[in-house]
Every structure is written in structure tokens, then in C-alpha cells.
Amino acid sequence: MTTFAWYFEDHGDVKTGDVRYNEAATFSDANPPTKNDTVVGISSLSINSDESGDELKKNPILDPDCVMFFGLQVDRGNLVQAVSDNLLNDLNLTTNDYNFGNVIFLFSFLLAELPSQLVSKKIGPDRWIPMQITLWSTVAMRQCALSGKKSFYATRSMLGLLEGGFIPDIVLWLSYFYTSRELPTRLSFFWTTLSATTIVTSLLAFALLHLRGVAGVLRDDPSKGDMHNRQAITPRRLWNAARDYDLWPLYAIGLVAYIPQAPPATYITLTLKSLGFSTFHTNLLTIPYSVFHIITLLLLTALSERTNERTLVAMLQPLWTLPCIIALRFWPGALKEAWGTYALVAVLLSYPYCHAILVGWTSKNSNNVGARSVSAAFYNMAVQLGSVCSNFMYRKDDKPLYHRGNRNLLIVNLLSIGVFLFTKAYYLYRNKQRDRVWNAMSAQEQSDYKRDTTFSGSRRLDFRFAH
């Protein structure tokens, strides 16, 4: 049985609410009302987990979120399809310029994470998210007028600034509707949109690139066309969330876990073109591994939920990519034999994506709405910072075999396995540490602590970290 209670505070003309929740005890034990709290309606609402399951399955909130995420990924990810049709040559760009453009986007995305979260919490996601989508879509449409390096860099920066903060805000919103155990599965469906977008945009690219000159759709020659929704996060809450060192191991995982897969994914179309595949075949060949990527993502997240194990299940991602990266570095036919290289990279990019597990894990270990909002942003910032680093792995002076780049990817992959194991050991240690203190207290002392403690979120002594 899970107990909820909804308290309202009056902030002028806007009624705002704060949902307080604790699985281990009743609401009155864990969150006694203060003198400023006013109970509206009933004081508590008990929801039986079994009874609420059917209602949660009927909850339509995930569908529009996936559609919005699809829109985000189309506008930030269609660059991969564009470079398959000689975008770099058309704009007189080198692969280093391409890398730097990706870095500009990711750095801008990273810089916008926290400001976007603060704006969203101040005016409400129902207002801020539509504004974001409208603004970044406007910039994305203006990419048709790209003329060179400066305009390429400018649009990448603007897209990053306008799209930053969207994902943490959506994740926080979803966490309101699902329990911590149910959230990773819902997030796995959310992140299948990532691969589904790759499939759809690859098919669209295959179709659109055949329409050169058809009914004037595209010219045949480019030269012919020159907390609750409105409660702001206070500076104190922001600072408390930032210095919550118990979440730092998860941020470290976010920083390194996705680097080994990023350069092969970014360069897949360039690699296939260099191996002799046509533009059309190149775009079609991105579909198979995207399909398998969806399947492995869902299976991995389902396995984590079924076993209630996060670290060891999520660690299957770097274990999957490890032999593939070793082969990319040491196999003599790598980046020389066309179909062998494609098969190797396709297997690598079919990896089981642990992002949904990590985001749900961060949300659960925050154990507080305010901290959850900020921790989601910090985690996503760590992921974006890792993506920035990944764009420096494959360099022009390392072409065409990228031996140095693949060696560095191998090192980072091994490092990510080590970080996963450290995180498991750290949370086990922290839980045992708290168990010793908690079990040494009498039942009355435990009850007094629940009632009187000023600690919140993961800082509470009666909270245990998921691992």
C-alpha cells in the first residue's frame, strides 16, 4: 500500500501543490504538516499498487511526450542524413568542422539545461515546452539557407540553446505519473523514439533525395538555389541538489557511458560512403541496427525492472560494445572491407541502451521533487558533456582508419565498466552505513526521527539508495 497526500499553499492568484510521498511509512510519520500547510479536501489518499496498475496503463501522457521527443530528435539528428548527401562538400566544411559543429551544439545544449529548467519551473512546462518546440522548429527550418561555416555553427548553437532542458523537464513530468519502479519501463518506450526517429528520417531521406527536380520539391542542382508546474526552484534548492555527492556517481556514469558508441554512430554515414556505398544505400543501411537498438533497449530495461537490478544490467551496454571496439582497433579489415566493417559497426550500434535505466535510477535516488528536477538536468548535462568529448575522438589527422580514436574509445569503454562497478560498491556501502545507524536506534527514536528530521530527499537516514 502506498500513501499519498496533497497539500496546497496559496501563492497569490495561483494555487500550487506539493505532493509528498514516502513508501516506508505513512504520510503523517514522514511528512508532518507544518503550521503553514493547509489541507484541502481529504488529507490522504491511499492507492493500492495492484489497483492503480490498470489506470497507469491507460494513462495517455506518454504518447504526446514521445511525439514531442520525436520532433526534438528530427531537428537535432537529421544532420547525419544530410552529410550522407555531401553536405560537407556543399558548405566547404571538413570533418573537423563537422566535429566542431557538433561540439557547439552539445555545449550550447549543456549550457541551456539548468536555465531552461529554472524557466520551466517558474512559468510551467505547459507554457515553456510549446515555446521551445516553436522556437527550435523555426531555427531548424532556417537551415535550408545554410551557406557556409558561420551559418552552420550559428544554427547548431541556436538549436542547442533552444532544445536544452527539454528532456529533463519531460522526464520530471513523467515521474509525477509513474512510480519509481514503473518509470524506467516508460522511459524505455520514450527512448525508443530515438531509434524510431533514425528509422523514419532514414526512410524520408531515401525518399526525398530521389525527388530532385520532381514537381519542384527539390532542385536537381544545389547551385540553382542560393515542482509543481509553477513553483520556481530557489537558489538554496539548486545548491543543495548540486552538492548532493551521493548522486555524483550517476553523473560520472552519464559522462563516460555513451562516449564509446557516439563516434561510430556519428560517422556511420561518412564511413559507408567512403567504403563505396551509394547515398541511398547508406541511408537504408542505418535502419537494421536502429531496429535492433530498439529491441535491445526494451529488453534491457525490462530485465532491470524484473530483477530490480540497475548497475549490473545497465553495465551490459559497455560489455556489449567492448569486443566491437576491440575489433575496430585491431582487425586488419576494419574500415577497409565494406560489408565486414558495416556488420561490425551495425552490431556495435545495436547495443542495449541503458539511458532509460540511468534516468529512472537518478530520479529514484533523488527522492525529492525539487532535487529530482535539478538532478535530471545535471545528469543530462553530464551526458551532453560526454557527447562533447566524443566529438574529439575521430580527428582528420587520424583518417581513414582512426587507430588513435578507436584506442581512446577502448580506454573510455573500460573506464565506464569501472565506474559502474564503483557505483554499485558505493551505494552498497552507503546503505550498510545507514543500516548500522538506523538499527542502533530504538523504535521510538526512529519514529521521532521521521517526524522531526530537517533532512529531505536522499539525505534522510531512513532512505536507501537503489543500485
For CA atoms 308, 357, 55, 193, give the dihedral sign.
Answer: negative
Average pLDDT rounded to a whole number, residues 132-160: 88
**In the numeric block, which cell numbers belong to residue 148?**
557556409
Instruction: Check residue 319 and give its pLDDT.
Output: 96
Place of cell 538554496: 236
Average pLDDT over residues 68-87: 80
Q: How confident is the model at residue 6 (pLDDT cuts 50, 70, 90)?
A: very low
Q: How far apart are the first and last CA of the chain?
A: 23
Average pLDDT over every residue of 440-460: 78
pLDDT for res 453: 75
What are the φ and ψ backbone dihedral angles of 335, each rounded to 5 degrees? Answer: 65, 20
Mean pLDDT of the region 241-270: 88
- Please give the pLDDT value at position 217: 58
Given a cut of 50, whether residue 97 has pLDDT beyond it is yes
Dihedral angle, C-alpha 364, 367, 368, 372, nearest 10 °: -30
State the chain's mean pLDDT as an integer: 79
Burial of 121 (0-12, 13-18, 19+ CB in 10 A): buried
Question: Quick one: 9 exposed, middle or buried, by C-beta within 10 A (0-12, 13-18, 19+)?
Answer: middle
Q: Which three cell numbers stand for residue 284?
A: 537504408
456 — pLDDT class (breaks 50, 70, 90): low
**Single pTM value for the model:** 0.63
The highest-confidence range among 171-175, 223-227, 321-325, 446-450, by mean pLDDT, is: 321-325
pLDDT at 311: 92
Highest mean pLDDT among 75-79, 96-100, 126-130: 96-100
Q: How many CA atoms lie within 13 A of 291 on its CB side?
A: 7
Q: Which of 72-76, 141-145, 294-298, 312-316 has the lowest mean pLDDT?
A: 72-76
Domains of the chain: 4-12+14-47 (no CATH), 178-459 (1.20.1250.20)
pLDDT score recorded for residue 242: 75
pLDDT at 51 over 80: no
**Residue 408, pLDDT score:** 94
User: What is the SS3 string spanning the chain?
Assistant: CEEEEEEEEEECCEEEEEEEEECCCCHHHHCCCCCCCEECCCCCEEECHHHHHHHHHHCCCHHHHHHHHHHHHHHHHCHHHHHHCCHHHHCCCCHHHHHHHHHHHHHHHHHHHHHHHHHHHHHCHHHHHHHHHHHHHHHHHHHHHCCCHHHHHHHHHHHHHHHCCHHHHHHHHHHCCCCCCCHHHHHHHHHHHHHHHHHHHHHHHHHHCCCECHHHCECCCHHHCCCCCCCCCCHHHHHHHHCCHHHHHHHHHHHHCCCCCHHHHHHHHHHHHHCCCCHHHHHHCHHHHHHHHHHHHHHHHHHHHHHCCCHHHHCHHHHHHHHHHHHHHHCCCCCCCHHHHHHHHHHHHCCCCCHHHHHHHHHHHHCCHHHHHHHHHHHHHHHHHHHHHHCCCCCHHHCCCCHHHHHHHHHHHHHHHHHHHHHHHHHHHHHHHHHHHHHCCCHHHHHHHHHHCCCCHHHCCCCCCCC
Which are the contacts of 252, defined by CB distance < 8 A and separation ≥ 6?
382, 419, 423
pLDDT in tens, 182-200: 788 888 877 788 778 878 8
Query: Cell numbers 496533497 label which residue?
Result: 6
Mean pLDDT within 378-404:
88
In 3D space, the residue among 158, 123, 101, 121 whose CA is nearest the CA of residue 376 turns out to be 121
30-34, 59-63, 126-130, 149-153: least confident range:
30-34
Query: What gap in Å lies between CA 222 and CA 199, rounded to an integer?
Result: 26
Q: Give me the residues paired with residue 319 across strands.
A: none
350 pLDDT tier (thresholds 50, 70, 90): very high
- Identify residue 215 by its one-letter amino acid code: A
d(CA 182, CA 197): 24
Residues 415-431 have pLDDT tens digits of 999 999 999 999 999 88
Are 373 and 233 spatial neighbours (Cβ–Cβ below 8 Å)? yes
In 3D space, the residue among 397, 263, 269, 383 whose CA is nearest the CA of residue 328 turns out to be: 263
Stronger pLDDT, 86 or 8, i.e. the higher one: 86
Give the pLDDT of residue 9.
40
* Res. 15: pLDDT tops 80: no
Closest CA to 359 of 236, 257, 211: 257
What mean pLDDT is predicted for residues 365-375? 74
**Taking Cα atoms as reference points, which of 380, 383, 191, 386 lies closest to residue 296?**
191
pLDDT tens digits along 17-38: 444 444 444 444 444 444 444 4
User: What's the rounded mean pLDDT across residues 258-281?
Assistant: 89
Reported as a pLDDT band with limits 50, 70 and 90, residue 4 is very low
